Amino acid sequence: MSARIEPTLLRKLNERRVLELIQQRGPLSRATLTRISGMSAPTVSKAVASLLDAGLLEEIDAPIAAFGRPAKLVRLAAASAQVLGVVIEPGQTWVVASGIDGRIDPARSKAFSTSSDYDTLIDRISAELQHLQEDIAGEIHGVGLTVPGLMHATTAKVLISPNLHLLDDHAPGEDLADRTGLNCVALQESHALCVGEKMFGDARGLNDFAMMDVSTGLGLGVMSGGKLLTGHSGLAGELGHITVAPHGLLCGCGNRGCLETLATDAALARAISSRMGQTMEISDAVQLIRDGAIDARQELDQVAEYLAIACAAVINIFNPTAFFVHGALFAAADHLFELVLERTGSRALKPSLADCRIVQARGSKQQAAIAGILRHLTHSWAPTLS
So what's the pLDDT on residue 383?
75
Query: The whole model's pTM is what?
Result: 0.91
In degrees rounded to 5, what are phi and psi of residue 235? Answer: -100, 5
Instruction: Name the band, by pLDDT with cuts 50, 70 and 90, for residue 65.
Output: low
Q: Compute the distance between CA of residue 57 and CA of residue 117 in angstroms, rounded to an integer.
A: 40
Q: In this structure, are residues 112 and 88 in contact, taking their beta carbons and an 8 Å threshold?
A: no
So what's the pLDDT on residue 70?
66
Q: Compute the distance between CA of residue 202 and CA of residue 141 in angstroms, rounded to an integer.
A: 26
pLDDT tens-digit profile of 354-374? 999 999 998 999 999 999 999
Instruction: Name the band, by pLDDT with cuts 50, 70 and 90, for residue 2.
Output: very low
Distances (CA, A) of 34 to 43, 179, 386: 8, 43, 20
Instruction: Name the band, by pLDDT with cuts 50, 70 and 90, for residue 1.
Output: very low
Handedness of CA 170, 172, 177, 180 (dihedral sign): positive
CATH fourth-level superfamily of 204-362: ATPase, nucleotide binding domain (3.30.420.40)
Number of other CB atoms surrounding residue 78 within 10 Å: 17
So what's the pLDDT on residue 385?
59
Is a pLDDT exceeding 90 seen at residue 9?
no
**Of 163 and 139, which is predicted with more confidence?**
163
Angle, in degrees to the nearest 10, between helices 30-37 and 2-25? 110
pLDDT tens-digit profile of 240-265? 999 999 999 999 999 999 999 999 99
Q: Which of 83, 7, 90 is nearest to 50 (CA)?
A: 7
Q: Residues 175-200: what's their mean pLDDT?
A: 95
In degrees rounded to 5, what are phi and psi of residue 58? Answer: -130, 150
Percent of the chain with pLDDT over 90: 85
Q: Which of 130, 139, 24 is nearest to 79 (CA)?
A: 139
pLDDT tens-digit profile of 84-133? 999 999 999 999 999 999 999 999 999 999 999 999 999 999 999 999 99
Q: Which of 188, 177, 267 is nearest to 222 (CA)?
A: 188
- Return left, alpha or beta for 142; rule: phi > 0 is left, psi -120 to 50 is alpha, else beta: left
**Of 86 and 60, which is predicted with more confidence?**
86
Domain 2-76 fold: Arc Repressor Mutant, subunit A (1.10.10)
So what's the pLDDT on residue 64?
66
Q: Compute the distance between CA of residue 292 and CA of residue 286 in angstroms, rounded to an integer.
A: 10
Angle, in degrees to the nearest 10, between helices 365-381 and 2-25? 150
Q: Which CATH number fits domain 81-194+366-381: 3.30.420.40, 3.40.50.2300, 3.30.365.10, 3.40.50.300?
A: 3.30.420.40
Strands 92-99 and 81-88: antiparallel
Instruction: Name the band, by pLDDT with cuts 50, 70 and 90, for residue 382.
Output: confident
Number of other CB atoms surrounding residue 279 within 10 Å: 10
So what's the pLDDT on residue 348?
97
1-10, 44-53, 194-203, 282-291: which has the minimum mean pLDDT? Answer: 1-10
Instruction: Name the band, by pLDDT with cuts 50, 70 and 90, for residue 71.
Output: confident
81-194+366-381 matches 2-76 in CATH topology: no
- What residue spans define the domains of the chain? 2-76, 81-194+366-381, 204-362
- β-bridge partners, 92: 113
Mean pLDDT for the chain? 93
- Return left, alpha or beta for 186; rule: phi > 0 is left, psi -120 to 50 is alpha, else beta: beta
- β-bridge partners, 113: 92
Q: Compute the distance between CA of residue 174 and CA of residue 179 in angstroms, rounded to an integer.
A: 9
